[in-house]
């Protein structure tokens, strides 16, 4: 099943986010290579694809896991959690309806 993982950034964590991004992206690449990643990306803090110093407010990852517990464990092991980029994460089941 797919799960939507939403990470909420800690205020002022842009520097940690940028420093930790390669390790975070590597985990996403691994999901993609396994055919389990539907989509992933950050939430810009302003209405811009490149928010600059305004940074980001969090991230969305939609990926396939066997169970909600597996998705939760994967999310909790994210480098952004260890670096303090994410203040919190939520994991919810997700059903892809469109596009078909």
Question: Into how many domains does the chain fold?
Answer: 1
Half-sphere exposure of 53 (CA within 13 A, CB side): 0
Rounded Cα distance between 95 and 97, Å, is 6
Does residue 99 fall inside a structural domain?
Answer: no
Does residue 76 fall inside a structural domain?
Answer: yes
Rounded Cα distance between 99 and 67, Å, is 24
For position 60, which CATH number holds? 3.30.70.1060
- pLDDT tens digits in sequence order for the chain, 100 residues long: 999 999 999 999 999 999 999 999 999 999 999 999 999 999 999 999 999 999 999 999 999 999 999 999 999 999 999 999 999 999 999 999 999 8
Query: What is the residue range of 70's domain?
Result: 2-94
Does residue 73 fall inside a structural domain?
Answer: yes
Does residue 100 fall inside a structural domain?
Answer: no
Does residue 46 fall inside a structural domain?
Answer: yes
Does residue 77 fall inside a structural domain?
Answer: yes
Specify the pLDDT at position 54: 97
pTM of the complete model beyond 0.85: yes
Best CA proximity match to 75, nearest among 91, 58, 64: 91
Q: Where are the beta strands (DSSP E) in 17-74?
A: 37-44, 56-64
Specify the pLDDT at position 42: 98
Rounded Cα distance between 4 and 80, Å, is 16
Specify the pLDDT at position 9: 98
Specify the pLDDT at position 17: 98
């Amino acid at each position: 099943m797919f799960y939507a993982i939403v990470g909420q950034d800690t205020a002022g964590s842009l520097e940690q986010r940028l420093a930790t991004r390669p390790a975070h992206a590597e985990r996403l690449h691994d999901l993609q290579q396994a055919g389990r990643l539907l989509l992933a990306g950050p939430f810009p803090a302003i209405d811009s694809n490149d928010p600059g110093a305004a940074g980001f407010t969090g991230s969305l990852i939609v990926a396939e896991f066997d169970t909600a517990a597996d998705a939760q464990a994967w999310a909790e092991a994210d480098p952004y959690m260890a670096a303090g980029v994410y203040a919190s994460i939520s994991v919810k089941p997700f059903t892809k309806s469109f596009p078909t």
